[in-house]
Amino acid sequence: MIRIQQLQSQIVEPAGLKGQYYEQRPQNKLEWFKNNGWGYKDTKFVLEQDGAVRLTGNKYRFSNQRMMKFKDWAEAKVGIDLSLNCEAQNEIPANPPIINEQFMNAIQGQFNEISFDNAQRILHSHGQTMQEIYDLRNSKLARIVDCVVFINSHAQAELLVKLAVEYNVMLTVYGGGTNVTWALQCPQEERRMIVSVDTSRMNHIRWVDRKNMTALVETGVTGKDLEKELSRYGVVCGHEPDSVEFSTLGGWISTRASGMKKNRYGNIEDIILSVKVVTPTGTLSQSLDYPRVSSGPDLNQIVLGSEGTIGIITEAVIKIKAQPEVCKYESILFHNFALGTEFMYKLSRSKVWPTSVRLVDNNQFQFGMALKTMPHSKREEFMDKVKKYFITQFMQFDPDQMCLVTVLFEGTKQEVEFQEKKVFELAKFYKGFRAGAENGERGYFLTYMIAYLRDFAMQFQFIAESFETAVGWKNVPAVCENIQRRIVEECSKRGVEKEPFVSFRISQVYDTGATIYVYFGFGYKGIADPVKCYSEIEDAARDEIMKNGGSISHHHGVGKLRKQFMQKQIGDTGVEILKRIKQQIDPKNIFGNQNLI
């Protein structure tokens, strides 16, 4: 409070919103979020009788527009058999809860909402991996939380942790539920009562300092709501992971997240100045906005990437920036992935980095083209044919080789014009062809569709997922080449009938390397245990990544999905350090999700 009073001349609160939750959606997530898949309940891809694919609902720019090319592409190029319709089960089974009577007596009347509803318990016990969604559609989760407590404040977090320690109850923290690392899976052998701590009602912006360009924010706020609220002050956070609609500030911190706009705004570790976290041995409180300190090791780094293993992150001071004057999408065609990769490498050396720049391979380029909506007029249809003829016949781009770079420029008019000039000069050197804003914007839009499309494919006995890595520039070609080879080999060993779909995207550039996304999937008809088969192939691909100089993750995190690779990543001493930090902060293993190590 003293800190806020000292900065009162620079700090402002939104009129009429003090003490109110910033709600874009109904407070009960079950009212609008799917219980067995990704995203909004009213939004999914459907196959219509005439072969068109349509995105239902009204949440996105291309909602309810028909896509006539996707069916043929999916069957011919991906190998999806759209005759194998396999609907999800209607109800998801749930085991009865384990109850710690003393703990329940202690928390009665202390919190606004405590839920034993089976649907809430299931929702709070899974993330968004293919394996988890498959189980939700076809069977059950092996162990789910016993109870969900919705906290409204830092004080409530402290009380809940205190009582959990006193009565030996395990806690797991829930933000947006978008993790793809099995981070929310409950340990099957856990015999204590497991309580999920839902932070979604901790979504206030406590203050905004326009002079220092910082803000104190509660960590249950989603990225989408954070940006909408900050826009009232004329500022942005700028952190936009692919899950920005649903993921939370607390989740970003706990996974060391990255966003597509990191070139301008930084990764989460660059955005966070300080955090407040409630641990079983006390509260680490650093609500500071110093530009830099030299006071021993940075305690933020213990919290960043901790994946819910040491406490509840309740608040963070973040950096903010003025809203950009100009936001402009663009795209560039290259003749092949090798030329596109060389362009990305040279761009990383130029220091003229757009807000975002991504390279997709030919498979993803064709994927994007297959999702083009029907032309709105005969003229538009004619112009599309002219463009295709010009690119393939006159410019000599091979439809089965060409790839696409999507670009987002942000800044002042002068900044954007300067960046555009430099980027397109470099692209020209590598025979790149400027493909326009529409293709660029569509490319970024498709990012938000990937999980919806994964769920669509699953109903036709086709399972797919993505994973990512960070790798030095000299190893980028080898990583892509050898992952492709290894996945094909592993699928063949396990009796996968058709060649798997494998695709690559370079989604981030750094001075020293790049982030590579890998998408792969296969039809599982005839496979006795599709989830086991897929998991083994994914582990083999991760092993291949590490053999070729890649990391176990760039921004998804470790969870329980990749913890078997941690010793190889950080060494025996590194693992021991993490174990001792955990033991010192949480000796009773209250936050016993078993992530990381």
* DSSP state, residue 324: P
Q: Tell me whether residue 181 is annotated as binding.
A: no
More confident residue, 6 or 543: 543
SS3 508: strand
Report the mean per-residue pLDDT for the chain.
93
pLDDT reading at 21 higher than 60? no
Q: Which residues contact 296 (CB under 8 A, 6 or more apart)?
A: none
List pLDDT tens digits, range 503-526.
Answer: 999 999 999 999 999 999 999 999
pTM of the complete model = 0.93
Q: Tell me whether residue 310 is annotated as binding.
A: yes
Q: Supply the DSSP string of 108-154, one letter for each residue.
A: TTTSSEEE--HHHHHHTT--S-HHHHHHHHHS--SS--SEEEE--SH
Asked if residues 344 and 249 have their Cβ atoms less than 8 Å apart, the reply is: no
Q: Please indicate, yes or no, if residue 331 is contained in any of the structural domains.
A: yes
Q: Please indicate, yes or no, if residue 438 is contained in any of the structural domains.
A: yes
Q: Tell me whether residue 454 is annotated as binding.
A: yes
Here the tokens at position 312 are 């509840």
Virtual torsion, Cα 304, 306, 312, 314, nearest 10 deg: 10
Catalytic residues: 517
* DSSP state, residue 595: -
Here the tokens at position 73 are 């592409």
Q: Which residues contact 225 (CB under 8 A, 6 or more apart)?
A: 22, 24, 203
List pLDDT tens digits, range 264-310.
Answer: 999 999 999 999 999 999 999 876 778 888 989 999 999 999 999 99
Q: Tell me whether residue 242 is annotated as binding.
A: yes
The one-letter amino acid at 547:
K
* DSSP state, residue 176: S
Q: Please indicate, yes or no, if residue 444 is contained in any of the structural domains.
A: yes
Asked if residues 487 and 545 have their Cβ atoms less than 8 Å apart, the reply is: no
Q: Which residues contact 415 (CB under 8 A, 6 or more apart)?
A: 326, 409
Q: Tell me whether residue 258 is annotated as binding.
A: yes
Q: Tell me whether residue 466 is annotated as binding.
A: no
Q: Please indicate, yes or no, if residue 358 is contained in any of the structural domains.
A: yes
Mean pLDDT of 577-590: 98
Candidate from 59-73, 102-116, 240-254, 555-569 with smallest mean pLDDT: 59-73
Q: Which residues pair with 522 in a beta bridge?
A: 463
Q: Tell me whether residue 255 is annotated as binding.
A: yes
Q: Please indicate, yes or no, if residue 149 is contained in any of the structural domains.
A: no
Q: Tell me whether residue 309 is annotated as binding.
A: yes
The domain that contains 330 carries what CATH number? Answer: 3.30.70.3450
Torsion sign, CA atoms 66, 67, 71, 74: negative
Q: Please indicate, yes or no, if residue 194 is contained in any of the structural domains.
A: no
Sheet holding 403-411, edge to edge: 433-434, 326-334, 403-411, 356-360, 501-509, 513-523, 462-472
Which is it for strands 194-198 and 147-150: parallel, antiparallel or unpaired?
parallel
Q: Please indicate, yes or no, if residue 414 is contained in any of the structural domains.
A: yes
CA angle 506, 511, 515 (to 5 degrees): 25
Give the number of other CB atoms < 10 A from CB of residue 398: 10
What per-residue confidence (pLDDT) applies to 107?
A: 98
List pLDDT tens digits, range 195-244.
Answer: 999 999 999 999 999 999 999 999 999 999 999 999 999 999 999 999 99
pLDDT category at 12 given cuts 50, 70, 90 is very low
* CA 291 to chain CA centroid, nearest Å: 28
Asked if residues 467 and 538 have their Cβ atoms less than 8 Å apart, the reply is: yes
Q: Please indicate, yes or no, if residue 99 is contained in any of the structural domains.
A: no
Closest alpha carbon to 225 in 35, 23, 380: 23
Q: Tell me whether residue 244 is annotated as binding.
A: yes
Q: Tell me whether residue 246 is annotated as binding.
A: yes
pLDDT reading at 16 higher than 50? no
Question: Alpha helix (H) ranges present in 328-459?
Answer: 337-350, 362-370, 378-389, 413-429, 437-447, 450-458
Sequence-separated contacts (24+) of 12-19 with Cβ below 8 Å: 12/207, 12/208, 12/210, 12/233, 13/207, 13/208, 14/205, 14/229, 14/232, 14/233, 17/229
Asked if residues 347 and 413 have their Cβ atoms less than 8 Å apart, the reply is: no
pLDDT category at 390 given cuts 50, 70, 90 is confident
How many domains, in total, are found in the chain?
Answer: 1
CA distance 174 to 308: 9
Asked if residues 471 and 513 have their Cβ atoms less than 8 Å apart, the reply is: yes
Task: Find the domain containing 368 and state its range.
Answer: 324-448
Q: Tell me whether residue 248 is annotated as binding.
A: yes
Closest alpha carbon to 208 in 24, 8, 1, 411: 8
